[in-house]
Structure formats: C-alpha cells, structure tokens
Chains A and B, each alone.
Chain A
Amino acid sequence: MPEEYLPPIGGGRQGGAYPDITATKDGRTLRINSVDMNKNGTPTKRERTNAARIRQQTQGDHLLLIPKNN
C-alpha cells in the first residue's frame, strides 16, 4: 500500500500528514518519519510540530524520527 494518510483536523484537504513508513504487527502500529535537523542535532521546529501533531493524532502508537542526511 502507498504511504499512510493522516487527515488534518476536520478531515479537509490541507494539512494532512504522510508518514514515510507505517508498519503494523500484532495489533500495534509503528510510524517512521525522516526529519530535517538543526545544527545542534535536534529536529527543526517544523518537524517537531509535525511530530507532536502525529503523536496527538495516533495516541498509543509509536513514532520514530530519523534524521535526514545521516
């Protein structure tokens, strides 16, 4: 299946998210996203905001962030 779609608030067309990988096993879901990093080694503000939103929307699942260009 192509990448998972996480609809935005209200289910509209703008602001949805597409995690890079969504894996399931034994009823659990793991999502993996590659993210842009600041020079200090932390995800950029935009990536942190996206990650927080995905975590809020997928409570109980696991989200793994992997630095891009690493």
Chain B
Amino acid sequence: MKSKLVFYFADDSDLSKYIRQLDSSVSKVEFYKAGMFDTPEPEFGMSLSEMIKNETIHSDWNHNTKVLVLPTHIDLVIRKVPQRNGVIRYAIDQREHPSSIILKIGGIHSEGILIAGAIGTINNDEISINLFKEFTAVLKKQSKKIGSFYVAEGAYEKLKNNCRLTTNSRSPKEYDLSLTAV
C-alpha cells in the first residue's frame, strides 16, 4: 500500500491561518488526539486550534502530537492493545479507520528552531484520499515548495532569518532545510 505524505514547516501564525482556511473549506470532520493511551477515553470535541494550542513542540518530530482526522459520520474505534505485563493500552490510529488521515503537528520548538509537521494517510480509501487532498490543497496554497517541504509564509521568513527548519534539532545542521534546497 503506497502511503501519501506531505511535509510542511509552519509557525504559529501560519498554523492559525491554515486552520481558519480549513474551517471554511474542508468537509465536516472530527479531530481526535492519536496515539497509545492508558485509558479508552479519547480527547475530542475540540477544534483543531483548541487541540494543539497547549501542545509542546518536541525537538524530534516523531514525538509531536498526532491528530486523527475522521469524517463526522464515522464512529471512532479504539483498539485494545494487550501488553506483555497484562495491562491493556488503547490505540487511536488509522488501522481501524480507513477513511481517516493523520496530521502531525509541527511548530516552534524553541528560539530559532522550527520543527516540521506532516499530513498523511496509509489508506487508499476514497474518503481518506479526498480528505488528504483537501487538507494538503489548503496547505500548498499558502506555502512555497522547497526541497521536499512546503514552507508557509511565516516559516519562510524565519528560514531567511537563519532560523533552523528541521525535523529534529539533534540532527546535524547540514540536514536542516536550506534556501538553496531543490
């Protein structure tokens, strides 16, 4: 199964603008915090901006918040994941939701370091593909493509002002996005 992925750099103002445009242009969806949890009570019922506003941006994008985007007419399925020690943990991810997409939230980690985000899906379901297209179309409209990344306006200004645009601040700087990337 070929996955679909779009990578982006966006600062707080870019994300706010992106979310405003999403609100007015995409299908009716519900946002759920994705991941592995100790209890089967999902965080939902919030707007995307409410969901991400108190999130800390980690230095490594793999640790940043992921949001499952699901059409409102589809119920969330929480997958039980038994652990070796007998404990049950609860997964919210794309496995039980072929019609979903995932947003990985990026943003400012600390002064001078902007961490990448991503939008993706592992599914070829028509609804998932359409959601992916809707969410990425809005992002692409407000961004420049530099190398493999879509760089929104505020992030681009930061790149010009020597801010690090990276997926992991512990990576050597030569792997950061540069203005000359093609």
Whole-angstrom CA separation of A9 from B147 in the bound complex: 11
* Contact indicator B147/A22 (Cβ below 8 Å): no
Query: What sequence of 0s and 1s flags, for each residue 25-69 of chain A, a beta carbon within 8 Å of any chain B beta carbon?
Result: 001010000000000000000000000000011111000000000
Query: What sequence of 0s and 1s flags, for each residue 49-73 of chain B, a beta carbon within 8 Å of any chain A beta carbon?
Result: 0000000000010110010000000
* Contact indicator B104/A9 (Cβ below 8 Å): no
Q: Tell me, yes or no, whether A24 is within 8 Å of chain B by CB.
A: yes
CB proximity of A44 to chain B, nearest CB, Å: 24
Given the interface pairs A3-B3, A9-B174, A10-B181, the reply to whether A22 lies near B62 with Cβ below 8 Å is yes
* Contact indicator B63/A27 (Cβ below 8 Å): yes
Collect the chain B residues with CB atoms within 8 Å of residue A16's CB: 148
Whole-angstrom CA separation of A18 from B62 in the bound complex: 13
Q: How many residues of A contact B (CB 8 A)?
A: 23
* Contact indicator B3/A5 (Cβ below 8 Å): no
**Quick one: which of B126-182 are within 8 Å of A by CB?**
146-149, 165, 167-168, 170-172, 174-178, 180-182
* Contact indicator B167/A13 (Cβ below 8 Å): no
CB proximity of B152 to chain A, nearest CB, Å: 15
Q: How many residues of B contact A (CB 8 A)?
A: 33
* Contact indicator A12/B168 (Cβ below 8 Å): no
Q: Which one, B17-25, B40-48, B116-124, is touching chain A? A: B116-124
* Contact indicator B62/A29 (Cβ below 8 Å): yes
CB proximity of B30 to chain A, nearest CB, Å: 18
Whole-angstrom CA separation of A57 from B166 in the bound complex: 11
Q: Tell me, yes or no, whether B5 is within 8 Å of chain A by CB.
A: yes
Collect the chain A residues with CB atoms within 8 Å of residue B32's CB: none
- Which positions in A face B, CB cutoff 8 Å? 1-13, 16, 22, 24, 27, 29, 56-60
Give 6 closest A-B pairs by Cβ, nearest first.
A2-B3, A11-B177, A11-B147, A11-B181, A2-B120, A12-B181
- Which positions in B face A, CB cutoff 8 Å? 3-5, 7, 60, 62-63, 66, 94, 102, 104, 118, 120-122, 146-149, 165, 167-168, 170-172, 174-178, 180-182
Chosen A-B contacts, 15 in total, with CB atoms closer than 8 Å, are A4-B62, A5-B118, A5-B148, A5-B167, A6-B167, A7-B149, A7-B167, A7-B177, A10-B180, A11-B148, A11-B149, A13-B182, A56-B172, A58-B168, A60-B170
